[in-house]
Chain A
């Protein structure tokens, strides 16, 4: 899976080829140019001679906008996340980031108790227009720099959750996230960044995709049907979108046509598209790198069972990581992360 599946690109889109890291950087730059209130907060994001955050996304922005807008923080995730919440309440539009998604647990109180609840507690008087960016995904760094943890945040009323899989979606969704008045947790997969030079990820995908020159926004709550199929619906996100597309290609050769839906945002989730698709295909496989129990696939399975039970022709199957921390050894990590083969196998089982 060295190249981005061609079927994922909208043929009508014209523009340049960008990586996700470049697309995200462009989104930040455009929004910072557009709105003085947009500032960035994070560790190692604007250091001169540094690397532009853990995955190069903020490279060059400090030189362009100054250190008062690209704010390098101490290693204090809870502190700067809470400060971002306060700054958002105070009229700024902060985009904070952690170097690895696992570090979000350090800032959980700030996100779950403050960012998510203060609008509600105020009786709707307050708004928290902030974005928390977080890289996820297993990349042979061991258990504490690897977790896919989007399900935790999907479970927090008051937060919105994005998880793009292409440069086009990454840019459009990040721009929307910055302009929205709700707090957004924005997940990016490390193997999809396409970072270059010394920050290039071993095993990363060649994720260059077409991004228009003209400005565009992508609304939250609209999934993308990236492949049509009559036999089974695959609902997925992030890196697993790419693996699911490869699985779908392989399944075609075996006479099974899979429809693939990239959720793009988990909160809100595009239930209409999921229900419509499953009602047509009668079969559902959910694929995510987040672990099995209580993962977001469980919510999709429950809602489909509730709304589409009469259309189902087989069991709902989830292809996910097992309920373990992320292992280090490549042989174990490859076992942990759902593979194309596992997706193919699951689809074949539900189609029997």
Chain B
């Protein structure tokens, strides 16, 4: 057996994480519609294979950066869902003490920077982390999620070029879900594949079936190994699809019904379950047990969030600067 392939135990962990991602998003959607959460949300149902396949490869000390659609990345990275839920509820116990919100969830101590909601903004931050890892001779890598829209930002070009010339340990992960908000990627990019762009920087790239969690995992593993061995960055294009609209107010009328239906058939969780039932990794009762266990975890997270205190209004004024004093006047 190829040692880089996941064990059965790891496969079950991957499955549960994908379910947790999906059911977290579904629960958030329902809470949101009930008016129990403030703000806006950008949901990622359908993109679980990408989030979980990548994060399964990451190790302690590695740093993940994310986007305005970060919930599943945070869940997959292993940040306890109670702290994520509390942040969405704008509570003091949230992973950012209620100062971040949906678009900035994350916890650097647990391997994920607060999500960066400026399109492409996480790319230089991940690359800067990679520079620090290389300089400090740490064995870690940075993993950088961004969407297809981000590859048309100038910062993508500047930063990937620098990561390439300095052989930095970073993996660039483009979740190509075909749409930047409502704009089809084909209408704003001349080349057919995002991965083609890597040629311009002299780095390797792959286009991967982003709804096949094992394919994502194996491609990320290759790129991560390369990065850890000091051989520089890789650009991975993970082809996927979000089942929801861009944000809470978007019903997605710009997408053909047939296209949505076609991608629904490629639901990464259903695909995994179908295959796992065939190989005997999962049984029907194991699936329902797993769903029930995820449900309980989410119940607990919601109860934790709802019973947590709100921050004080005056806490608005703290955490702008580090309090320090140096020298004499």
Contacts and interface: CB of A to CB of B under 8 A. Distances in A.
A68 B135 contact: yes
A110 B322 CA distance: 19
B124 A91 contact: no
Contacts of B121: 82, 109, 113-114
B108 A89 contact: yes
A280 B157 CA distance: 56
Interface in B146-161: 154-155, 158-159, 161
Nearest to B131: A87
B320 A158 contact: yes
B136 interface: yes
Given A83-B128, A219-B326, A125 B158 contact: no
Contacts of A80: 158, 162
A76 B326 contact: no
A121 B127 CA distance: 20
Contacts of B322: 119, 127, 180-182
Interface string A49-80: 00000000000000000001000011010111
Given A86-B125, A86-B128, A89-B113, A76 B158 contact: yes
B133 A90 contact: yes
A160 interface: yes
A94 B135 CA distance: 12
Interface core residue of A73, A78, A222 (most chain B CB under 10 Å):
A78
B292 to A, nearest CB: 33
A227 interface: no
A85 B158 contact: no
A154 B132 CA distance: 28
Contact of A121 (B114, B129, B159, B328): B114
Q: In this complex, which of B106, B107, B322 has the most chain A Cβ atoms within 10 angstroms of its Cβ? A: B322
Contacts of A91: 132, 136
Given A119-B320, A125-B109, A85 B125 contact: yes
A79 B327 contact: no
Given A119-B319, A119-B322, A158-B321, A109 B118 contact: yes
Given A123-B97, A123-B99, A89 B327 contact: no
Interface residues of A, number: 51
Nearest to B133: A90
Contacts of A105: none
Contacts of A82: 121, 123-125, 127-128, 155, 159
B158 A90 contact: no
A76 B155 CA distance: 9
Nearest to B319: A124
A118 B155 contact: no
User: Chain A CB within 10 Å — which of B116, B126, B135, B165 has the most?
Assistant: B135
A114 B125 contact: yes
B99 A120 contact: yes
B312 interface: no
B106 to A, nearest CB: 8
Nearest to A223: B329
B71 interface: no
Interface of B: 63, 94-100, 104, 106-109, 113-114, 116, 118, 121, 123-133, 135-136, 142, 154-155, 158-159, 161-162, 165, 318-322, 324-329
Q: Which 6 A-B pairs rank lowest in CB-CB distance, beginning with the nearest?
A: A86-B128, A82-B124, A90-B132, A79-B158, A123-B97, A217-B327
